[in-house]
Amino acid sequence: MRLNFSLVVLLTLASSTAFADGLFYQLPDDRTWARYDIEVTHERDGMQETQRATLTMASVGKALEGTEQCRWIEVKLQVTNQGMEHTILAKVLIPEKYLKRGEAPLEQMVRGWLKGKETEEAMQLEASNFGPLRAFLAGPLNDEKKLEKELVESKLGKLECEGVEGWAPITEGNREGRFVFQSRLHPMAPFGLVSSRLKFEFKRDGQVVETGNARITLSEFGKEAVTELPGNL
């Protein structure tokens, strides 16, 4: 089945280095989970498409590695395209001291697992392919600056949210791109993020070939998260 181009760019967004500090700003209690709705509008060759997906993150266990207290963080990306669901699961063990704002948690990975399709076995995670984990855990944005607080309607009610803005680059084959983020944060949100807006642009040989924007919004959250992947030994 041929994937439409908005789905392709959505998967690129979730698996690239573009997300930087991404959606992870604080570490909640173990077994906490949060789900985000994603809507991507993408334009190429005069055509525009909109794609929707969900991205779920959960803390699914603790482990002691030497003297380091670590946490298992699991991320699930689900995209529906032409009536079929595409799912990517990724899970990583990271020392708790790196699971906070301003750190680059994936650079401190102890080990992890990745599963791309329902019929595939989980593979051991490699640094070259972090899957949707990069959406949450990559590291700080470039030229990050604070924005004035803003009242935001959310699943948690109406909150006065701190804002941050910054950008991150991406290289994909012979194309170069930039993602600009504006995120709204509040400590009541399980992982700190209430919502995020981003704009992206790809160039080839200095010419703009693709543009788009995305909205990421906290939609559900709860306790008693259970892993869908191996690796808690």
Q: Is residue 137 part of a domain?
A: yes
pTM given for the model: 0.84
Closest CA to 141 of 28, 23, 53: 23
Closest CA to 120 of 146, 90, 75, 164: 90
Predicted pLDDT of residue 119: 55
Q: Is residue 50 part of a domain?
A: yes
Q: pLDDT of 209-232, one tens digit each?
A: 888 888 999 999 999 999 998 765
Is 167 within 8 Å of 141 (Cβ atoms)?
yes
6 compared with 63, residue with greater pLDDT: 63
Predicted pLDDT of residue 151: 96
Is 73 within 8 Å of 137 (Cβ atoms)?
yes
Predicted pLDDT of residue 190: 95
- pLDDT over 90 at 107, yes or no: no
Q: Is residue 227 part of a domain?
A: no
Q: pLDDT of 10-37, one tens digit each?
A: 555 554 443 435 578 899 999 999 999 9
**Summary mean pLDDT of the chain:** 81
**Can you give the residue range of the structural domain that contains 77?**
5-222
Identity of the amino acid at 139: G
Q: Which residue stretches of 68-219 are H helix?
A: 134-137
* Percent of the chain at pLDDT exceeding 90: 36
Is 53 within 8 Å of 94 (Cβ atoms)?
no
**The domain spanning residue 107 has which CATH number?**
2.40.360
Number of folded domains in the chain? 1
Tell me the C-alpha distance between 218 and 216, whole Å. Answer: 7
Predicted pLDDT of residue 60: 95
Predicted pLDDT of residue 169: 76
Predicted pLDDT of residue 138: 61
Tell me the C-alpha distance between 101 and 88, whole Å. Answer: 25
Q: Which residue stretches of the chain are H helix?
A: 5-15, 134-137
Bridge-based pairing of strands 33-44 and 47-65 is: antiparallel
Closest CA to 229 of 131, 138, 105: 131
Q: pLDDT of 66-90, one tens digit each?
A: 999 999 999 888 887 667 778 888 8
Is 13 within 8 Å of 23 (Cβ atoms)?
no
